[in-house]
Amino acid sequence: MKKHNYSAGPCILPQEVFEKSAQAILDFNHSGLSILEISHRSKDFVAVMEEARALVLELLGLEGKGYQALFLQGGASLEFLMVPYNLMNINGKAAYLDTGTWANNAIKEAKLFGETVIVASSKDQNYNHIPVDYTIPEDADYFHCTSNNTIFGTQMKSFPKTNVPVVCDMSSDIFSRTLDFTQFDLIYAGAQKNMGAAGATLVVVKEEILGKTGRTIPSILDYQKHIKAESMYNTPSVFAVYTCLLTLQWLKKQGGIAAIEKINEAKANLLYSEIDRNTLFKGTSAVADRSFMNATFLLENPELQESFDKMWKEAGISGITGHRSVGGYRASMYNALPMESVQVLVDVMREFESVFSDQSQLAQ
Amino acid sequence: MKKHNYSAGPCILPQEVFEKSAQAILDFNHSGLSILEISHRSKDFVAVMEEARALVLELLGLEGKGYQALFLQGGASLEFLMVPYNLMNINGKAAYLDTGTWANNAIKEAKLFGETVIVASSKDQNYNHIPVDYTIPEDADYFHCTSNNTIFGTQMKSFPKTNVPVVCDMSSDIFSRTLDFTQFDLIYAGAQKNMGAAGATLVVVKEEILGKTGRTIPSILDYQKHIKAESMYNTPSVFAVYTCLLTLQWLKKQGGIAAIEKINEAKANLLYSEIDRNTLFKGTSAVADRSFMNATFLLENPELQESFDKMWKEAGISGITGHRSVGGYRASMYNALPMESVQVLVDVMREFESVFSDQSQLAQ
């Protein structure tokens, strides 16, 4: 039976990425060699890296605007450390917006480097919304935010205007919606949501913000060294980078970010409409801040959990169990999840209501 | 035509690793899902990680001896940084043996943390041998060495006895030869030689040496945090770890390290015998320190390079061009390279001699 994969990440990728990457393991570019056994300095892989880096800037509309794209390793968690190492001055100050678990982990690493101001937090309401009306200190070395909060199902719909460099962790919604990406000075994202296999990290950085801290940066953490080495300072995560290239090529064929955004909106609207309409469910995050990537929702009557779980599993759905911090359900609708899968989930929710709405009322 | 892949890394892996990993991309464990789209917290992947970690300790003979195996990201180059962060005391001292490019890169990162003593170096002879007769300061926090030098074709055949913790970068010869691995307190290795796809880094560490520096360690660089999280502190490089498991399973089926060591010795002896016998070639590294993984050699008459290159390429050989630091040729004979491939190279060298030995003498 076809699976409807709602995993929060690593997650579904386009079917052609699975097929082409499996083929490349058996025979890459008709070379008679596997992509797993060729040198990262070989002509064939250098071409992969160059095309992937160029496609990132093209799809984000950042070509010729002073940005560099890098494919590094270590996930967003290593970027939590690289950002302050590269951007926080000695005796400097950084500003962070606290919108959830990952923002917190970023803040924790920054605190090792200097004054870390939390400009706002929604922690006291279990991160069910994005804070507004905060002030970013004008003397901060940078402002850091998380565009989408996978765990809590919230997403920043706009970003503050500020004169300090803006750093954004876009791990879970990069390439999913149109934005003016020039408002960011540094964007980073683990590959394993909308980009490719786990093991690669995308960093897009405006070169002019680098090299200004007076800090000695370990070589492996120094963005300038990675730029100079054309993203080959050390052996890259070859296969993961190749899957990113295949996914970016697929996205371009779909019509780029603008085209996929329309589909993502339609998928999210379909599911959120059902969450709001269905008497047995309720959403967990503020309506205005709902994530179009990760929809979090609860049963009105938690005693029906076992029955609902049985029903969606029988429909071939996988990966919608919620994170322990929120409970309930989380449906992750990344770029590669087809509309058909969302329809299947909505149908299950409707069927569930038709069977169990009486029981739910009795229990209440 | 079958390729004989002598790439220095990423490099040849066992054929069954290519086949099984390609299959897992299309359908992992008959789950109907690709290994690229499942959660790293899923039962199936947790089992992969656990088995891989256990197999590492089993194959190295380190089970039940206080060691932990971790699969991290960032390559050996990130370990160059993590080692001093985790092991060098504040106002402490570390001792390094300088045997080549990678040792140097490790030394560079350590210098940011405290006094870094280079106990010996073979730099003045272009790293063509492993230094002997050096003293490791008894008050060093650790001693660091590189077991095999891919670029220069040298390999440490024994390791110094010392009371300070011994850290060894085994990136290019791990799992290739029997050693008493309990003499090491920390071993690390990028996956892309004898272990699996680029993108995973193996760290094997004796737990009791950790947590003693008084230093605040960023979370993502803290071995203790990675151990506590069972190598899942953040999303691991899922696919690369899976290829490591497949390669370790293959190695176990071959009879483990002792069995592969015999084959590696036979391969190295076959090639080095030919380098020494053949009048047109000469080895570059000291005979006693010759690497069984990477054989470096030169043409006696460099003017014959074009003719030799033509001949080995026609035989289906790839990847034996030497590193620019040494020139000439480098034949990397990692675990998965079959004896047959070495025989093909030796045959080419013999044929080359039979055709060109007159010309070579004329030129000299």
pLDDT at A363 over 60: no
Which residues of chain A neighbour B218 with C-beta distances below 8 Å?
Answer: 81, 109, 112
Write down which residue in A187, A222, A254 finishes a domain. A254
Q: In this predicted structure, what is the pLDDT of residue B363?
A: 54
Contact assignment for B11 to A37 by CB distance below 8 Å: yes
B265 and B238 fall within a common domain? no
Instruction: Catalytic residue, from B169, B185, B222, B289: name it.
Output: B169
Check A78 against B74: CB less than 8 A apart.
yes
In a domain, A313, yes or no: yes
Q: For residues A116 and A143, is the Cβ–Cβ distance under 8 A?
A: no
- pLDDT band at A359, cuts 50/70/90? confident
For residue B259, pLDDT beyond 90 = yes
For residue B30, what is the nearest residue in chain A, using CA coordinates? A1
B243 interfaces chain A, CB cutoff of 8 Å: yes
Q: Which residue of A has its CA nearest to B197?
A: A36
Q: B54 lies in a domain?
A: yes
Q: Are residues B212 and B281 in the same domain?
A: no
Q: What is the pLDDT of residue A19?
A: 98
B185 is in an annotated binding site: no
Q: Quick check: A1 pLDDT over 90?
A: no
Contacts of residue A325 in chain B, CB cutoff 8 Å?
A: none
Residue B61 has pLDDT above 90, yes or no: yes
Residue A88's pLDDT is: 98
Average pLDDT score, chain A = 97
Q: Is residue A60 part of a domain?
A: yes
- Count of all residues that appear for chain B in the document: 364
Would residue A7 count as lying in a domain? Answer: no
Nearest to A245 by CA among A234, A231, A258: A231
Query: Residue A328 pLDDT > 80, yes or no?
Result: yes
The verdict on residue B4 lying in a domain is: no
What percent of chain B has pLDDT above 70?
Answer: 99
B312 is catalytic: no
Judge if B201 and B101 occupy the same domain: yes
Residue B102 to chain A, least CA–CA distance (Å) = 11
Are residue A159 and residue A304 in the same domain, yes or no?
no
Interval B26-42 mean pLDDT: 96
Is A102 one of the catalytic residues?
yes
Instruction: Output the pLDDT for position B361.
Output: 61
Structure tokens at A273: 């409409």
- Domain identity same for B228 and B314: no
Q: Which of A93, A98, A141, A169 is catalytic?
A: A169
Mean pLDDT computed over B36-60: 97
Residue A6, domain member (yes or no): no
Q: What is the pLDDT of residue B282?
A: 98
Same domain, B184 and B208: yes
Give me B336's structure tokens.
């998965």
pLDDT of residue B166: 98
User: Given this model, what pLDDT does residue B230 score?
Assistant: 98
Across B128-153, b (16+ Cβ under 10 Å) vs e yields bbbbeeeebeeebbbbbbbbbbbbbb
Q: What would the pLDDT profile of B69-116 be if each residue is shown by its tens digit? A: 999 999 999 999 999 999 999 999 999 999 999 999 999 999 999 999
Looking at chain A from residue 53 to 112, which residues have their Cβ under 8 Å from any Cβ of chain B?
73-78, 80-81, 105, 108-109, 112
The per-residue DSSP string of A14-71 comes to -HHHHHHHHHHHH-STTSSS-TTSS-TTSHHHHHHHHHHHHHHHHHHT-TTTTEEEEE
Closest approach of chain B CAs to the CA of A42, in angstroms?
Answer: 9
Residue A62 lies in a domain: yes
Separation of alpha carbons A152 and A290, rounded Å: 9
pLDDT at position A358: 81
What CA–CA distance (Å, rounded) separates A250 from A138?
Answer: 41
Which chain B residue's Cα is nearest to A237? Answer: B199
Q: Which of B12, B233, B237 sits opposite A37 (nearest CB)?
A: B12
Q: Is B102 a catalytic residue?
A: yes
- pLDDT value, residue A360: 62
pLDDT at A222: 98
In the predicted model, what is the mean pLDDT of chain B? 97
Q: Which of residues 170-229 of B touch A (CB under 8 A)?
A: 190, 192, 196-200, 216, 218-221
User: Which residue is it, tokens 């002509």?
Assistant: A43
Q: Does A328 touch chain B if contact means CB atoms closer than 8 Å? A: no
B29 touches chain A (CB under 8 A): no
Q: What pLDDT score was predicted for residue B358?
A: 81
Give the span between the Cα atoms of A233 and A219, in whole angstroms: 9
Decide: A180 and A156 in contact? Cβ < 8 Å: no
Distance CA A334, CA A336 (A): 6
As a whole number of angstroms, the distance between CA B66 and CA B185 comes to 10
CA pair distance A39, B319, nearest whole angstrom: 8
Position B2 scores a pLDDT of: 79
In a shared domain, residues A114 and A211:
yes
Average pLDDT rounded to a whole number, residues A36-53:
97
Which residues in chain B are closer than 8 Å to A7, comparing Cβ atoms?
Answer: 37-39, 42
Q: How confident is the model at residue A55 (pLDDT cuts 50, 70, 90)?
A: very high
Are B327 and B356 in the same domain?
Answer: yes
B159, part of any domain = yes
pLDDT digit string (tens) for A79-120?
A: 999 999 999 999 999 999 999 999 999 999 999 999 999 999
The residue-averaged pLDDT of A22-51 equals: 97
pLDDT at A149: 97
Show the domain range for A321: 256-363
Residue B360 has pLDDT above 70, yes or no: no
Nearest to A36 among B10, B81, B221 (CB): B10
Q: Which residues contact B283 (CB under 8 A, 6 or more apart)?
A: B153, B272, B275, B276, B290, B295, B296, B297
Task: Give the domain-ending residue among A209, A225, A254.
Answer: A254
The answer on A118 and A66 residing in a single domain is yes
Same domain, A296 and A160: no
Q: What is the CATH number of the domain that holds B351?
A: 3.90.1150.10
Whether A171 has a pLDDT exceeding 80, the answer reads yes
Residues A246 and A278 in one domain: no
ipTM of the complex: 0.97
Number of structural domains found in chain A: 2
Residues B237 and B260 in one domain: no
pLDDT at residue A57 is higher than 60: yes
Domain boundary among B254, B284, B319: B254
For residue B245, the domain's CATH number is: 3.40.640.10
